Structure 1
């Protein structure tokens, strides 16, 4: 009993809030970190983790920004991967990250949708089936966080997404804009940022074959097979057969892997490192259960080796769970939730170009960035869907010249930039799917420019 009283006293000291017996939020003594759960629907609980930047600069003309990071998958944990592998204050070995995005903004990580990472549902039937349902849950979370915290309301919120997270970002951007207009949400939306984002699956699957053929990674036969499956996907999407299109997408990945000797879909200059067991499962057509994230070389080196340096599974289920204190005992953290992916398979191949158009028409700042050597969301495919926009400013955007970008005093070209009104595009050289990891310096400079951070 004495230990329990001490524990409860500690929670009160740290500013814990209770709903029944559930701890909903906790913060560190210095207020630099806050985290907790929001019940976005009955029996559906979303986990969030906010870092307040030690580099904050208060400027009346340029308020300090907040970045909401949305991971892809769908079903990949931003609290785990985006935080410890890409942009958070510490890496997967709990060492300080030199190029953490905290240098330019506060960071809000969310395990989205529910069922991902630390987020959970008490009934599997409550998992979301569409991107819009995910956006509704996220809007509920953001409303509860921002409406109750005046300090958060002072900072513009930038929704920054990677991979499938881009589809969540554009649907969330529209949902948030609507909530703001109806005065249900107290925040200023700074913009939506789409990093290597799965906005138009059709354009990406048609880009894979020709791109890999030009790189000598596919031959004529491989190209022909790839293009034929891509054409099938196009017809399935046209007919509204979205689950079938998802199955064909998985088949196409398998065909490309076999004909390219396992090219890495996240960096086409590398092999994925697929082991024979993974390939065997793929041959059994269990494609959906094997996310590309599973057999990318970026991840497999630690994913299947618990206890080794940088292993996220051991880290998040060990020292991080102990630190957070409020993770239910029954919850086991996984980098990728197959249940979340499966429940979204009917939406997985649907495009979100129209949503980007709506954001642009509403005057929302939209930034797109793409890694040069990414395959899964190849630049070739991104440029293709951009040209399908109906936004009135598109001809002017396409007619603009690109500007080279650099890092500090290094005059080696790191990428290119083009902008017209509220549409911006960054081409990042030497980066694959995970731009902040592959090119941390230019990624940090880029996010500083996007957010107009007052940081020096």
Structure 2
């Protein structure tokens, strides 16, 4: 099976590169005032990760609480943090290149990385360099952090927090363990603040099992649709238990199609809406492989399409990144297109896609690493119902104390309207964000900024509304 797949990946890669010059590593670059830096790190031979660092204009120096840096990890796998997280969610500018009022630069410096290699502006020169596991991605990210932090005193003074969205959560927990190990070994010089998991794909089994009952409860599926959904979800549960992760990915593709067909195309990023994605032209006669590929396309296209529907934009993200932004950055090789290898990234990781990462969360908690979980109320793909289910599978010795802790309401801007709830015990923290879907910073920007301040303890100049 591996040889045909490798041939297919190489064929696709050659197609992407046909009109360009040979790929080559690039050097770091930045703005004259030092507010932005970007560049490539060759994390392995022929594997190049692209990063972009913004320094906050509101940075508070000489504080007893050091100004933090947030490493943002996008999901997919294959979705671009440099593009999506930056220009559509938390960066300083939107896709119209207008200032974003709710940018997370108000509370932290921001480091965006197109992860894994092959995502966004990151690229591989040969498909053999694509990552096949979350651990391999973590190893690459750790190498990038070593290159950026070791020897850089300014960065070392700023504690690093990893904030992840969607599949990025699986990268975050494996990266967290890798970072702790590298710090203890004296190989990485940074202060690690912890991780935040935003609507993350930590336990695929618990999410797919939640979809049918949740959609039935909100009238999006009837009893027949719920039965079809539950039946496929149980197949996935069995496949995961038997370690058949590739087969589980195939069944997941079928399940997403069945749910779309029986719900009149519910939006997987907000179950109160119809899908914001273009029709994929699927038919009930499609094969398992075709269903999986369609679901992959649905994820990759849906990320940007859904977010674009939330804002008035005169330019597509693809045009922006392959146009004026590529020109600004100067160091993107001529034959590298933003998002040009994204499909290859997902294909390479399809055998890891349905693998749970609950044990990694447990290990981080046992090490004393701060773990924050936040979940949008109307998200479907990483539904709160599924998130709560996997949290209860933790073997962490303080879980019962966490369960018994009092849940506090969250307000914003002193309007006294309940925007969410918060619970915390020891180093585990959980935010329930009301009226938010998969993209919490977009749907509830004020609450997201408050949450970020609490996660990072950033010494912001302006106070954040408290409950």
TM-score by length of 2: 0.90
Pairing 1:34–2:53 present? no
CA contact (8 A) 1:59 1:454 kept: no
The aligned residue for residue 7 of structure 1 is none
Q: Which residue of 1 aligns with 2:384?
A: 379
Q: Is contact 1:218-1:260 (8 Å) kept?
A: yes
Quote the residue 1:5 is aligned against. none
Contact persistence 1:77–1:336 (CA under 8 A) = no
Runs of 4+ in structure 1 deviating by more than 3 angstroms, as ranges, are: 20-23, 273-285, 294-298, 300-303
1:354 to 336, 354, 359: 359
State whether residues 213 and 220 of structure 1, in contact with CA within 8 Å, keep that contact through their aligned partners in structure 2.
yes
Is structure 2 residue 342 aligned with structure 1 residue 333?
no
Correspondence for 2:324: 319
Q: Is residue 25–residue 40 contact of structure 2 (8 Å, CA) maintained in 1? A: no
Query: Does 1:91 find its partner at 2:97?
Result: no
Residue matched to 1:343 = 348
Identify the residue that residue 299 of structure 2 maps to in structure 1.
293
**Distance between the aligned counterparts of 1:204 and 1:22, measured in 2?**
39
- Alignment match, 1:253: 256
Q: Which runs of 5+ in 1 are unaligned?
A: 1-19
Bigger Cα displacement from structure 2, 102-111 vs 398-407: 398-407
Q: 2:139 is matched with which residue: 124, 136, 141?
A: 136
**CA distance in structure 2 between the aligned counterparts of 1:104 and 1:302, rounded to whole angstroms:** 24
| Aligned positions of 1:58-73 closer than 5 A | 58-73=61-76
**Residues 1:273 and 1:151: Cα distance change in structure 2 (over 3 Å):** closer
Instruction: Indicate the residue corresponding to 1:206 in structure 2.
Output: 209
Q: Aligned-pair distance for 1:450?
A: 0.5
Whether contact under 8 Å (1:163, 1:377) holds in the other structure is: yes
Deviations 1:188-239 (A, max 9, x none): 1001000000000000000000000001111111111111101100111111
Report the CA distance shift for 1:263/1:63 in structure 2 as closer, same or farther (over 3 A): same
Q: Does 1:178 align with 2:181?
A: yes
Query: In the alignment, is the contact (CA less than 8 A) between 2:63 and 2:459 conserved in 1?
Result: no
- Counterpart position of 2:77: 74
Tell me: CA distance 1:117–1:298, structure 2 relative to 1, closer, same or farther (3 Å).
Answer: closer
Q: Give secondary structure in 1 for the equivalent of 2:293.
A: coil
When residues 250 and 341 of structure 1 are mapped into structure 2, their CA distance, relative to the original with a 3 A threshold, is same
Aligned residue for 1:370?
A: 375
CA distance in 1, matches of 2:153, 2:284: 51
Q: Over residues 399-449 of structure 1, what are the superposed CA-to-partner deviations in whole Å (9 max), with x where a residue is unaligned?
A: 112100011221111000000000000000000000001111110111011
* Mapped partners of 2:114, 2:279: distance in 1: 31
CA RMSD of aligned residues (A): 1.8
Q: 8 Å contact 1:73–1:336 — kept in the other structure?
A: no
**Paired residue secondary structure (1:49):** strand
C-alpha distance in structure 2 between counterparts of 1:316 and 1:377, whole Å: 27
Structure 1 residue 310: deviation in Å? 3.7
- 8 Å CA contact 2:96, 2:314 repeated in 1: yes
76-85 or 308-317, which deviates more: 308-317
Cα 1:27–1:241 change in 2 (3 A) is same
Change (3 A) 1:282 1:416: farther
Deviations 1:316-354 (A, max 9, x none): 000000000000000011288111001101110000000
1:413 lines up with 2:400 in the alignment: no
- 8 A Cα contact 2:123 2:341, kept in partner: no
2: CA distance between counterparts of 1:330 and 1:269? 41
CA distance in 2, matches of 1:189, 1:389: 22
Gaps of 5+ in 2: 1-22, 462-467
- Contact map agreement 2:137 2:171 (CA 8 A) in 1: yes
Maintained 8 Å contact 1:261/1:271: yes
Q: Cα distance, 1:297 vs. partner? A: 8.3
Which one of 94, 102, 105 corresponds to residue 105 of structure 2? Answer: 102
Q: Could you tell me how far 1:23 is from its partner in structure 2? A: 3.3
Q: How far is 1:149 from its partner? A: 1.2
Say if 1:273 and 1:295, in contact at 8 Å, map to a contact too: no
Per-residue CA deviations over 1:124-165 (Å, capped at 9, x if unaligned) read 111000000000000000110000311000010000000000
Give the TM-score normalised by structure 1: 0.92
Residue of 420, 429, 438 corresponding to 2:434? 429
How far apart are residue 275 of structure 1 and its match? 3.9
Matched residue count: 433
Query: 1:278-330 deviations in whole A, cap 9, x for unaligned?
Result: 43599454233333434548616869xxxx71410000000000000000000
Summarize the Cα distance change of 1:282–1:107 in structure 2 as closer, same or farther, 3 Å threshold. farther
Residue 188 of structure 1 corresponds to which residue in structure 2?
191
Compute the displacement of 1:58 (Å).
1.4
